[in-house]
Structure 1
Amino acid sequence: MNKANEANFDGLVGPTHNYSGLSFGNVASLNNVDQPSNPKEAAKQGLTKMKALADMGFIQGVLAPHERPHIPSLRRLGFTGSDAKVLEQAAKQAPKILAAASSASCMWTANAATVSPSTDTQDGRIHFTPANLVNKFHRSIEHETTGAILAATFNNPEFFAHHPALPSVDHFGDEGAANHTRFCPEYGEQGIEFFVYGMAAFDASMPRPSQFPARHTLEASQAVARLHGLSENKTVYAQQNPQVIDAGVFHNDVIAVGNRNAHFYHQEAFLNTEKMQQDILSAWGNSAEKFHFIEVPSALVSVEDCVKSYLFNSQLLSHGANDMTIVVPGECQNIPAVWNYLNSLVAGNGPINAVKVYDLKQSMSNGGGPACLRLRVVLNSAEHAAVNPHCLMNDTLYMTLNQWVDKHYRDRLIEKDLADPLLLMESRTALDELTQIMQLGSVYDFQKG
């Protein structure tokens, strides 16, 4: 067995972070529409969490934001002239389209891609497939830049394989690692890749939600598994409960989270919980390591409280065997049922025995908690050494990025500010400097209109 560790690569919040209410099905996003945002505070809150995990001894990386407003998308939609004219026309004729082209949603890198470790893949490399995020226009324009940033971060073809996004149609709607997790006795052993989907696109007889969209399809998950060369007997698919999607659980990581030998989920998370458990145990096999299903009963924590607190949009971090920390947002402390449950959980005899709380209010107000902000990548020592070192968190990078944020970010932004040509110039200037800091090459060049 190769010794390996799970790294977290968090999205750095971009300069145009705002609350435009673009994500139908995401309760927090809709509830905070038109509120002023604070991009500077948002970026610093994310950096604080990244640095804290690095200080705890975990491998922590940073994924750069995308250039916004995205002028090429606006030009494709018929807005013409100089960049300033494009912004002016879009603001006058289609302000919500401008808001979509200005979203900083790439900060939620759980949606950036699906990642399979080298121990799980046929060719022994780590595989990345950027998510097409086709269900939301503002996210569907991300995957090209996401792919470029991932390729600049994991840039050695001996260790890393990069695939293009799946076809951008609803039948292959792919929301990335927000609907994917991995179970394993140890990170360096072959694991179970667990895909959760909202509907089967080519089978109308299967259940699907009626109020909010099922963003991720079975067919997308199956395609990614084929691209990554996964073993059939170590790949498990489960359908999300359509009723919880209609309750605001737009991704599986809002109602469940897994790590190593633990699956932490709500009683109502899956359409068929018993089958999910049986399929995982069958794939787990005869491992000496016990597998833990930690099911939270509705009687103790309601689905509504899960959505309000983002209890399950948490990070499970392993320090060793049966020694896990759960990282949760501050909102969990504000709901007694959730906080009481967490305290009883870590006091029990299960694998989760510590809780860490972080203030991520700027992200949470747009519907993204700790799990949304990170993309998990299992790395052995050789793969770790092959990662772009300028993207790995340490004391120097933390200080440099905080200074960079102070220099380039605004501390207040509302939707009408998105039409300001100065904001675009501020974003471009900031990203040009960031390219040098993180040694990203030309990942932004093709975005400029």
Structure 2
Amino acid sequence: MKSYEVNFDGLVGPTHNYGGLSYGNVASQSNSQQSSNPKEAALQGLAKMKALMEMGFQQGVLAPQERPDVAALRRLGFAGSDAQVIERAAKDAMPLLVASCSASSMWVANAATVSPSADTADGRVHFTAANLNCKYHRSIEHPTTSRVLGAMFADQQHFAHHAALPAVAQFGDEGAANHTRFCRDYGQAGVEFFVFGRSAFDTRYPAPQKYPARQTLEASQAVARLHGLSDDGVVYAQQNPSVIDQGVFHNDVIAVGNGEVLFYHEDAFLETDKMLAELDAKLGKRGGNFQSICVPRSQVTVEDAVRSYLFNSQLLSRADGSMLLIVPEECRGNERVWQYLQGLTSSGGLIREVKVFDLKQSMQNGGGPACLRLRVALNQTELAAVNPGVIMTAPLYGTLTQWVDKHYRDRLSENDLADPQLLLECRTALDELTQILKLGAVYPFQIN
């Protein structure tokens, strides 16, 4: 039976703004308080989805969150009508209002960790929504994320959903941004690669000194247990604390993998040789031929990688066995990174082509091509069981672009977030979106 890796891209929400909320994310902080363009951001993301669909890749879409999150503000003591809650938060605690308006759910690489049926004990595809406990503005996402994923992957015969891990620092979980799967074929048993920044309980593991390590070893181990993964199908690796302190807040800022290939920076991990040997041995037992591409620091520095988001790319397998790398425009704008990529693709190696996309609106807020997509490996039967409303087609692309043009603003500043009308605009848009994507009632305003 044929199997696929389906990329479900996050649809940028109507409140896309540069709140500078993510300490440790250089781009997020450096562009704080600038005016954003939600309409352009959403259309840029949709253009990437359409392009990959037209290249023959399976492509889906994942709906955004309801923002502003008025319910979250009520839990923090703001009362009255929805409009009064927003007005009082703007007056008394503007940072909380900004956090409640964050559209960072568009980076669905953080939405969940996904294990395909070929790896799990019960033969179902497993989803665990990420608690995103490190940042308040993201920690409020997982209840809606769980409902949306449940509406997309509803057939319990094929799909299993787990609640987010306990919302405490010891189980900080950032989803697939720190998870990669290696396999010979998407439908065959593979090796799941969990990268963590620190251990919550074992002091033998070093920790970064400047920026927080968001993913814990204990969270990764818990997800593997929930998904029923076997020990011989899992590898755990620690991210290099020094690169976290240079702005590598997730592994997908310094490495990307797909199929049998890991593309990574020389400074990405601790105990790299040991890790590579374990991946090679475990994938070999499952019929795979593990291969790695190391980008040397002498050609691309960690700073170059962070500024260009070279590794926050999509590594895609093509029918002829070669690989395509999807990178943001910022890679072409960095002389050293672009020179490296030109040499990489001309060498006749595994990665034969690089395609560049303009994702400036997302990039300025700290997320590139890899951040915008959640990968789900599915066989034909499982793909047929997915809610068809979320699978990208030419008609759906046309409908969604019209929907964005109708509902999104082309400029949003921090002051605009205090406008109660923005909440009404967002709810109107999302109510229509759930009908377009056939999701049913997934947002709090539709349920309560």
Task: Give me the TM-score of the superposition, normalised by structure 1.
Answer: 0.98
| Residue deviations 1:336-364 (CA, integer Å, cap 9, x gap) | 11001111111123211111100000000
Q: Specify the alignment match of 1:395 in structure 2.
A: 394
Percent identity at matched positions? 65
Does residue 204 (structure 1) correspond to residue 196 (structure 2)? The answer is no
What secondary structure, in the 3-state scheme, does the structure 2 residue paired with 1:285 have? helix
2:393 equivalent to 1:427: no
Distance 1:159 1:448 in 2: 26
1:290 Cα deviation after fit:
3.1
Contact 2:279 2:290 in 1 (8 A): no
CA displacement 1:392-444 (0-9 Å, x = unmatched): 11110000000000000000000111110000000000001111111111101
4+ aligned runs moved over 6 Å, structure 1: none
| Mapped contact 2:173–2:216 kept (Cα < 8 A) | yes
> What is aligned with 1:254?
253
Secondary structure at 1:440's aligned position in 2? Answer: coil
Number of residues of Structure 1 aligned to a counterpart in Structure 2? 448
Secondary structure at the residue paired with 2:384?
helix
**What's the offset of the Cα at 1:447?**
7.2
Name the CA distance, whole Å, in 2 between partners of 1:204 and 1:288.
36
Residue in structure 1 matched with residue 294 of structure 2 by the alignment = 295
The answer on whether the counterparts of 1:72 and 1:448 sit within 8 Å (CA) in structure 2 is no
Q: Which amino acid aligns with 1:367?
A: G
Q: Given that residues 8 and 60 in structure 1 are in contact (C-alpha distance below 8 angstroms), is that contact kept between their aligned partners in structure 2?
A: yes
Instruction: Give the distance between the partners of 1:127 and 1:92, measured in 2 at CA.
Output: 43
Using a 3 Å threshold, how does the CA distance of structure 1 residues 291 and 320 change in structure 2: closer, same or farther?
farther
1:436 and 2:435 correspond? yes
Per-residue deviation, 1:446: 5.4
Secondary structure, in 3 states, of the residue corresponding to 1:320? coil
Is the contact between residue 314 and residue 325 of structure 2 (CA under 8 Å) also seen in structure 1? Answer: yes
| Alpha-carbon distance in 2 for matches of 1:309, 1:445 | 37
> Which region of structure 1 is more displaced relative to structure 2, 276-285 or 386-395?
276-285
State whether residues 71 and 447 of structure 1, in contact with CA within 8 Å, keep that contact through their aligned partners in structure 2. no
One-letter code aligned to 1:122: A
Counterpart for residue 61 of structure 1: 60
User: Counterpart amino acid of 1:121?
Assistant: T
Structure 1: gaps of 5 or more residues:
none
* CA 1:287–1:73: 2 relative to 1, 3 Å: closer
**How far apart, in 1, do the equivalents of 2:39 and 2:97 lie?**
21
Using the alignment, how far apart are the partners of 2:180 and 2:319 within structure 1? 19
1:36 and 1:276 map into 2 onto residues whose CA distance is: 43
* C-alpha separation in 2, matches of 1:206 and 1:342: 34
Q: CA deviation at 1:204?
A: 2.5
SS of the residue corresponding to residue 269 of structure 2 reads coil
Letter in 2 for 1:21: G
Q: Distance in 1 between matches of 2:447 and 2:94?
A: 20
Give the structure 1 partner of residue 4 of structure 2: 5
Q: C-alpha separation between the residues in 2 aligned to 1:350 and 1:185?
A: 18
- How is 1:40-79 mapped onto 2 (pairs within 5 angstroms)? 40-79=39-78
- Aligned pairs for 1:92-107 (under 5 A) are 92-107=91-106
Deviations 1:277-317 (A, max 9, x none): 01101211256653211000000000000000000000011
Q: Give the residue type in structure 1 aligned to 2:410.
A: D
- What's the CA shift for 1:251? 0.1
Counting only pairs closer than 5 Å after superposition, residues 35-434 of structure 1 correspond to structure 2 as: 35-286=34-285, 289-320=288-319, 322-434=321-433
Look up the equivalent residue of 1:273 and give its one-letter code: T
- For 2:19 and 2:328, the matched residues in 1 are separated by 22
The structural deviation recorded for 1:205 is: 3.2
In structure 2, how many angstroms separate the alpha carbons of the residues matched to 1:392 and 1:187?
Answer: 19
Q: Is the 8 A contact 2:189 2:286 kept in 1?
A: no
**CA distance in structure 2 between the partners assigned to 1:78 and 1:144 by the alignment:** 20
Contact 1:70–1:447 (8 Å) recurs in 2: no
CA distance in 2, matches of 1:242, 1:255: 12
Superposition RMSD in Å? 1.1
Structure 2 letter corresponding to 1:325: L
1:206 maps to a residue whose letter is Y
Alpha-carbon distance in structure 1 between the residues aligned to 2:70 and 2:239: 36
Secondary structure at 2:61 match in 1:
strand
Deviates more, 1:438-447 or 1:21-30: 438-447
SS at match of 1:202: coil
Q: Alpha-carbon deviations, 1:74-133, whole Å to 9, x = none? A: 000000000011001100111011000000010000000000000000000000000000
**2: CA distance, partners of 1:145 / 1:288:** 38
